[in-house]
Amino acid sequence: MLCIDNLRISIEGKEIVKGVSLAIAPGEVHAIMGPNGSGKSTLANALAGHPRYTITAGTVELDSTRIEALPPHERARAGLFLSFQYPMEIPGVSVLNFLRTADEALHPSKEKKVTHPGMAMHASSFIAFRKKLVSEMQRVGFAADIVTRSLNEGFSGGEKKKAEMVQAVMLDPKYLILDEVDSGLDVDALRVVAATAVELQKKGKGLLVITHYARLLHHLKPTHVHVMVDGKIVQSGGAELASVVEQDGYKKYAQ
């Protein structure tokens, strides 16, 4: 499980997240809904290890391994994935090279076993990886040559979010944090992103989905919904809670 226990997070000395506890099992989808400024993205970034966010109290365990003090790449290697709210453009680094490098960093044992007489194995592995990446990119609506383009450069907002979901498929994490992956998506892109998330859930991945709205949750059925206001979880429930929030808004949770 991904266990978050009484987590408190500050930015430049100001406390933003004020004691959040969650337990996400494989195959579960936990949705956190809340207004702007409630601490949702702060929670996401702190879990992934962003240096701007300081965890001042509490613990984070990923399959019984404490990760809150680990650097970001070690959290990723342990099985954590963050889909960014605003994915960055990286000119000069192709989608293929970025993901192949990330895959080798996350799973170094796959390549360390390759010796000089077996260099063909390395080439074969690269070709298989490229073939799978092309297939996954086409599945979400990209042309095959997208893998040679610079990562996210010139991509629309929706294309960036779809590319993030392909990254999740290729890197095969245990737990995913989707930080407002639905923002800026049209109806068709939303369906594609949600369908990919559903497939990941079916493969036993645990998902923490952060969103303002319930529209994503109409496609990706959450097992748990939490309302976050002023850095705290103020109500939790099943999928039906998302519909209540969509209808009534967040005013009744204001303190």
- pLDDT on residue 149: 94
pLDDT at residue 56 in the model = 95
Query: What does the buried/exposed string (b/e) look like for 48-76 if buried means 16 or more CB atoms within 10 Å of the residue's CB?
Result: bbeeebebeebebebeeeebbebeeeebb
Task: Identify the weakest region by mean pLDDT among 35-39, 167-171, 247-251.
Answer: 247-251
Phi, psi of 29 (to 5 degrees): -120, 115
Q: What is the mean pLDDT of residues 146-165?
A: 92
Judge whether residue 117 has pLDDT over 60: no
Domains of the chain by range and CATH? 2-88+157-253 (3.40.50.300), 90-151 (no CATH)
Nearest Cα to Cα of residue 144 among 135, 153, 152? 135
Please state, for a pLDDT cut of 70, what percent of the chain lies above it: 93
What is the rounded CA–CA span in Å between residue 29 and residue 189? Answer: 20
Instruction: Give dist(CA 219, CA 205) in Å, integer.
Output: 17
Q: How confident is the model at residue 122 (pLDDT cuts 50, 70, 90)?
A: low
Angstrom distance (rounded) from CA 192 to CA 126: 26
Q: Which of 158-172, 180-194, 226-240 has the lowest mean pLDDT?
A: 180-194
Q: How far is CA 11 from CA 15, 43, 91, 151, 230, in A?
A: 6, 11, 30, 29, 14
**Does residue 179 surpass a pLDDT of 80?**
yes
212 band by pLDDT with thresholds 50, 70 and 90: confident
Phi, psi of 249 (to 5 degrees): 75, -165
Quote the pLDDT of residue 111. Answer: 52
pLDDT reported for residue 123:
62
pLDDT at res. 252:
81
Measure the CA–CA gap between 83 and 81, rounded to whole angstroms: 7
76-to-40, 64, 72, 81 alpha-carbon distances in Å: 20, 15, 6, 6
Q: Quote the pLDDT of residue 110.
A: 58
